[in-house]
Chain A
Amino acid sequence: MPTWGHLGLQDSASPLMEQLIFFHDHAMVVLILITTLVGYMMSTLFFNTFTNRFLLEGQTIEIVWTVLPALILIFIALPSLRLLYLLDEVNNPSVTLKTIGHQWYWSYEYSDFLQVEFDSYMIPSNELPEDGFRLLDVDNRTVLPMNTQIRVLISAADVIHSWTVPALGVKADAIPGRLNQVSFLMNRPGLFYGQCSEICGANHSFMPIVIESVSVNSFLNWISSSSEA
């Protein structure tokens, strides 16, 4: 959940998001090291009085400052590629959720069950309860089971939208006439928020996503009550 003055990534609710955060921290360390080294070199150069009017070439230093950046890039690329392939691994989802983007709400359908579908609109600010989150809370949350592999199929009915939940590390465009797939597993219960991430009209900022992660039994109870309703 983002809060005021939040600078970093949101706490992860999925193992893949955990790995993304680790990679982000690793790349950040490398960048800070490079910035510190270059900043130190520049500041010492500023204040030294060494002068050599006859400097022409330095083969060794040229080799060093060519090979060193290449090595640094390898140190960044190897974990990056490992994570890239990890994100695309095949798994067997046990729950499939289909979400269609409209102007300006999301509609959800639980494809594995019969007649479980609903629309999810943002709650307007002036109708929000005292403890509600402005521009984030919705009337019908998407309830999903935790510790279960979930597949979300994303499409749109009019213009391009984008379905994302930062805490789960998922984002995919909702394109009319196309079906995109994302896969995740939530390892803790709670509420996870996201917002439409592709400009789709006047109310693009007012069509949020809320995932409610519950136990498998609670999920099945909710499905049962939703299909009866």
Chain B
Amino acid sequence: MKYVNSCGLSESVRCDLAPLSSCCVGGSFGLREFAQIRYDFRNRKNVSKEDAEKMGIKMKDQDEVTLESEYQKIEKIDTTNWENVRGPRPWEEGNQLYKEAEERAKKIAGRD
């Protein structure tokens, strides 16, 4: 015969299932509060216009750089007329793209 207490719940639900599910579900919400502290008091820095100007760098205003303004710039890129090159595999020699890669590598070696 199953034991049913005054709440109408059996012992197994009251002692096993209810604490387990409340810990698992409630714990996720409870831990969120602790995780939120990390986001509220983050060691976050800003690269501001004033900092940049102290170093002699011209920086645009935050309002000037928006998704819309950048989208207008990329709209001007011609994406329909591009040359589909049968690109060189890096191990292939004797083709133009590979020669350009070699020259770039020499520039890096010279820079280092």
| Stretch binding the partner chain, chosen from A3-11, A43-51, A107-115 | A107-115
B1 on interface, CB distance cutoff 8 Å: no
Q: How many Å lie between the Cα of A92 and that of B47 in the bound state?
A: 11
B40 on interface, CB distance cutoff 8 Å: no
A157 on interface, CB distance cutoff 8 Å: yes
When distances are taken between beta carbons in the complex, the residues of chain A under 8 Å from B67 are 153, 179, 181
When distances are taken between beta carbons in the complex, the residues of chain B under 8 Å from A216 are 45, 47, 51
Take A147-B44, A148-B45, A155-B74 as given contacts and tell me if A112 and B25 are in contact as well, using a CB distance cutoff of 8 Å: no
From B91, which residue of chain A is reached at the shortest CB distance? A125
Q: Determine whether the beta carbon of A125 is less than 8 Å from that of B57.
A: no
Q: How many Å lie between the Cα of A101 and that of B108 in the bound state?
A: 22
Q: Which of A103, A123, A219 contacts B47 (CB 8 A)?
A: A219
When distances are taken between beta carbons in the complex, the residues of chain B under 8 Å from A124 are 90, 98, 101-102, 105
When distances are taken between beta carbons in the complex, the residues of chain A under 8 Å from B82 are 103, 157-158
Q: Which of B85, B106, B109 contacts A103 (CB 8 A)?
A: B85
Q: How far is the CB of A27 from chain B (nearest CB, A)?
A: 13
- Across chains A and B, the number of contacting residue pairs, with CB separation under 8 Å, is 127
| Stretch binding the partner chain, chosen from A34-42, A165-173, A189-197, A198-206 | A198-206
Q: Determine whether the beta carbon of A100 is less than 8 Å from that of B51.
A: no
Q: Determine whether the beta carbon of A177 is less than 8 Å from that of B25.
A: no
Return the CB mask of B73-87 against A: 1 if under 8 Å, else 0: 111010100101111
Q: Which of A100, A127, A155, A227 contacts B105 (CB 8 A)?
A: A127
Q: Determine whether the beta carbon of A177 is less than 8 Å from that of B105.
A: no
Q: Determine whether the beta carbon of A78 is less than 8 Å from that of B44.
A: no
Q: How many Å lie between the Cα of A201 and that of B77 in the bound state?
A: 20
Q: Determine whether the beta carbon of B60 is less than 8 Å from that of A113.
A: yes
Q: Determine whether the beta carbon of A94 is less than 8 Å from that of B47.
A: yes
From B71, which residue of chain A is reached at the shortest CB distance? A179
Q: How many Å lie between the Cα of A223 and that of B89 in the bound state?
A: 34
Q: How far is the CB of B112 from chain A (nearest CB, A)?
A: 8
B21 on interface, CB distance cutoff 8 Å: yes
Q: How far is the CB of B73 from chain A (nearest CB, A)?
A: 8
Q: Determine whether the beta carbon of A127 is less than 8 Å from that of B65.
A: no
Q: Determine whether the beta carbon of B104 is less than 8 Å from that of A139.
A: yes
* 19 A–B pairs (Cβ distance < 8 Å), ordered by A: A15-B39, A78-B25, A78-B28, A92-B62, A96-B65, A124-B90, A127-B108, A129-B112, A145-B47, A147-B45, A148-B44, A148-B45, A157-B79, A158-B79, A185-B44, A203-B89, A216-B47, A221-B55, A223-B57
Residues of B within 8 A of A (CB): 21, 24-25, 28, 32, 35, 38-39, 42-48, 51-52, 55-60, 62, 65, 67, 70-71, 73-75, 77, 79, 82, 84-90, 98, 101-102, 104-109, 112
